[in-house]
Every structure is written in structure tokens, then in C-alpha cells.
Amino acid sequence: MVVLVVATASDPASIGPAAAFLAMPGWSPGPPISEGMESFTNGNVRLLKHERSIIAEDDLDQRWQEATGEPVSEVIFLSKHTAVSNRPALTVHPIGVPHLREDETPPQGGTPGWAAMPNPRIGPWLRLMQKIAKEQGLVPEFEITLEATHHGPVTSTPTMFVEIGSIEEYWGRQDAAQAIALVSPPFLAYSQYLQVLWKGLGLEDGNAVGSWQGNGEKVLLGIGGGHYAPRHMDIVIKNGVWVGHLLSGYSLPMDTPSQVNGKTSGEVSGMWKHSIKVSYEATKAAFPGGEVIAHLDHKSFKGWQKNAVTSYLQEQNISIGKPSDFF
């Protein structure tokens, strides 16, 4: 089994960390899998570079196996992050568009109603990223954060995005990219990005960070809240907490039910049930032997919304946990 790291030449926040990563020892040219792509190998890690949008190339894990005969255990995409705030940030997140109907076109890749298996490294790498960022003086300038589940491309194996944001000035920052990818100058600006990859994948000393062992540990399924999942972040930053999908409010579309004597009545329709169901199933598949527990951002819901969500979770036999239940 190999780990597939994907970068694109069309994105400076993707190709920069990839270049810093490849400047480390142990790499050799890998096999081509398609025109316009090149690959490199280092132990069980494969770095694949292409020239299209990072969300445009679907099924790279399957395509790699078909071309090389090597099954892929997980996929890690390197990408830029954009935000209205323009605040510099380093982020990690799962992917999928589970809230979209079949007749809707995903604006940023993926297949409507689909959620990828979340990479178990998301929680441990968030904490590793925070540690390295503090050591290298990127905090408080850079925010180190989770993002909610969103966008594509389609994959069939546990997947995560690791991103630098939030504007072009920071996409090319070598100290940020090195932190995600551990080298010395002239790649100083990419140190955080690089270190997370180098240490996290075990290329530094053979001890990978975030490898799931499946010993009945608890896994957080975040439901509700904003895009940066602050209430879920409060739990995930604690050592030993695993995290699966994070469904923000926009991934839980609910149609307002009818009112009878000032009280809601009838079924709460919308794609929210499907979104929860497929995200739970994908998280459970990514953490075999784990106990997936839903954590709700209660304050983000109106009363009727929270009642609908908790009732549905109970119907599906999905446990609901308080923050203390994850420690």
C-alpha cells in the first residue's frame, strides 16, 4: 500500500510545498500514469504532480493502482485556501459534497451527495501543524485550523486536503509551505507545510503521525456550526482525539416546516438527512473498529433544527456525545 500526495503546477500553494518536499533526500522518479503528469517515489510515499485544477482530476487513487499495480491507502492533496477574511491560515479538512441533490452541479468538484472517506490523519496532523507553527513563529500571524467538509475531487480511499491561505501573498510563502512539507533555507518559507508532510508520513524517522490502529477509539463526527468548526476544534485540538467528517450548517440544508399554533409540525425535508447518513458511513469506513460519535454545535441550530437532528441520529443509532465523552 502506498500514500499518494497530489500537487498541481497551477497552484503556487500546491507546487511550492511539493518542490520543498522533493528537495528532501530519498526521492527517485516514479512511473507516469497519464500525459501531463509526473511522479516521484520515496519509501511508501508517491508524489504525483499534474497541471490541472487540484479538484479537477477524479479517481487518482484508482488510476494510480491501474497504472502501477500499487494499491493506494490514502490520498493527501496540497492546495491553496481562500477566505473572505484574507487572514493567513494553514488548514486541513475532509472532502465531499454530501448535501447536494443529484440534479445540482458541484461548484468545486465531487459528485452530488457523495462524501469521501476522511483521512484519519486530519486530527493528529492539525495538532502537529499547530506545534510546528508555534515553534517556527508562524503563530499568531497564521491561524491553524480545521475546515468543514467541502469540494472534490472524487476519491475512493481516505482523503484530506492540506492548505495554505488565504490570498496570493501567502500562497507562495515559503515558511508556511515548508512547515507543511522540514528543510533549511532557501526553502525557509515553506517549513511548516514541509515538516508536517515529512514528519507526518514517517519519512523523518519511520514514525508516522496519525496512523489509525482501530482499537475501539472514539471518532468525532461534527454536525453544525460554521466553516471553521470552532466548537469541534475545541475538542479536536486535545491530544488523542480523532476526527471524521465535519458538516457545517451549509451542508445540512433544511426546509422550514409548517407551523401549527406557533409550533413546528410535520417532516423537516431537505438533504440534511442524506448528508449526515453518508458522512457517518464514510467516517465509519475510514475508522474500522472505531466508535463514531456525533458532536453537535448546539448553539448553531434553531430549536426545531436541533430536535430534528437529534431525533434522526437516535433513529440511526448514532451516538451523540458531549465534549468530555471524547477524552
Q: Tell me: cis bond preceding 257? Omega within 30 of 0 counts.
A: no
How many angstroms separate the first and last alpha carbons of the chain? 31
Question: Residue 114 pLDDT more than 80?
Answer: yes
Per the rule left: phi > 0, alpha: psi between -120 and 50, beta: everything else, 227 is alpha
| Mean pLDDT across 17-22 | 88
Q: Output the pLDDT for position 179.
A: 56
Least-confidence region, from 100-104, 136-140, 305-309: 136-140
Rounded to 10 degrees, the C-alpha dihedral 134/168/145/100 comes to -170
Q: Alpha carbon 304 to chain centroid distance?
A: 30
- Grid cell, residue 238, equals 486535545
Give the residue extent of every domain in the chain: 2-201, 218-325
Of 57, 2, 60, the C-alpha closest to 33 is 60
**35-47 tens-digit pLDDT:** 889 999 999 999 9
Q: What is the mean pLDDT of the chain?
A: 89
**Can you tell me whether residue 116 is helix, strand or coil?**
coil
| Mean pLDDT across 165-177 | 52
- Class of domain 2-201 (CATH, top level): alpha beta
Q: Output the pLDDT for position 296.
A: 98
**Can you tell me whether residue 186 is helix, strand or coil?**
coil
Produce one character per residue of 251-281: b if its CB has 16 or more CB atoms within 10 Å, e if not. bbebeebeeeeeebeeebebbbbbbbbbbbb
DSSP state of 290: -
Residue 158 burial (CB count, 10 A): 26
Q: Output the pLDDT for position 237.
A: 95
**124 and 110 Cβ atoms separated by less than 8 Å:** no
Per the rule left: phi > 0, alpha: psi between -120 and 50, beta: everything else, 258 is beta
- Grid cell, residue 270, equals 431537505
Q: Output the pLDDT for position 142.
A: 81
Amino acid letter for position 100: L
* Global confidence as pTM: 0.91
218-325 topology per CATH: Rossmann fold (3.40.50)
Band of the pLDDT at 184, cuts 50, 70, 90? very low
Q: Output the pLDDT for position 181.
A: 47
**72-107 tens-digit pLDDT:** 999 999 997 565 566 788 899 999 999 999 999 999
| Mean pLDDT across 197-220 | 94
